[in-house]
Amino acid sequence: MSSLVQQLSADRQLTALRTVVQCKAKPTVLREGPAAGDGPGTAWVAFLCPAHSEGLPGWPATRTHAYQHKVSCGTVLDFRVAEQVLQSHADLWLTALTGVDPAAYGGVWSDVLDQADRVLRERLEQDADEDGDGEDGDGEHSMLTMMWLACRAAAEGDLMQAASALGYCETIAEGMGPWRDADLAPQ
């Protein structure tokens, strides 16, 4: 990691590597998130191109640093503890996509993820029945695989691994906008 990232993170351990925007442009800035809260260092840093440098919804940055890097725009290094990373997945997309709110499960992540998995699985089966064309299912199937891994990791008490698996789901959800909007739109 670069010295700036090291400095901003106060040498915290990286919890998750996330891709929160589908954008192939090269970053020109690094945006710094709020303080992690449980010690020195920032909660996250995001690498963004000029088009996205004003910031992203759900990612309130505190400072912007000029920064060139070879990673893709939308790459986020997350330094928060696993529970906080899981909560941010819920806040940003998981609850919107599945209707499953962690608050209703007392913060028991294995239950939250099990329920989200159930909702996604039922929806996919329903879609398959309705369409019968077998198209556009790759993203959903990949997401179900990663969601299953997240469930299993959470059941074993490995929330870091669960957060990592959800990171893949986040990227897939990001890439399947129409599927998502169609499901969320009133019928």
Binding residues (CB under 5 A) for Zn ion: these are 23, 25, 49, 51-52, 73
Shortest reach from residue 122's CB to Zn ion, in Å: 34
Shortest reach from residue 20's CB to Zn ion, in Å: 10
- Phi first, then psi, for residue 114 (nearest 5°) are -60, -45
**Structural contact between residues 120 and 98, judged by C-beta atoms closer than 8 angstroms:** yes
One-letter amino acid for residue 32 of the chain: E
Question: Cβ closer to Zn ion: 26 or 121?
Answer: 26
Shortest reach from residue 65's CB to Zn ion, in Å: 16
Question: Cβ closer to Zn ion: 64 or 84?
Answer: 64
One-letter amino acid for residue 96 of the chain: A
Structure token pair of residue 178: 């129409």
Question: Cβ closer to Zn ion: 12 or 52?
Answer: 52
Shortest reach from residue 49's CB to Zn ion, in Å: 3
* Burial environment of residue 57 by CB neighbours within 10 A (0 to 12, 13 to 18, 19 or more): exposed
Residue 56, helix vs strand vs coil? strand
Question: Cβ closer to Zn ion: 31 or 52?
Answer: 52
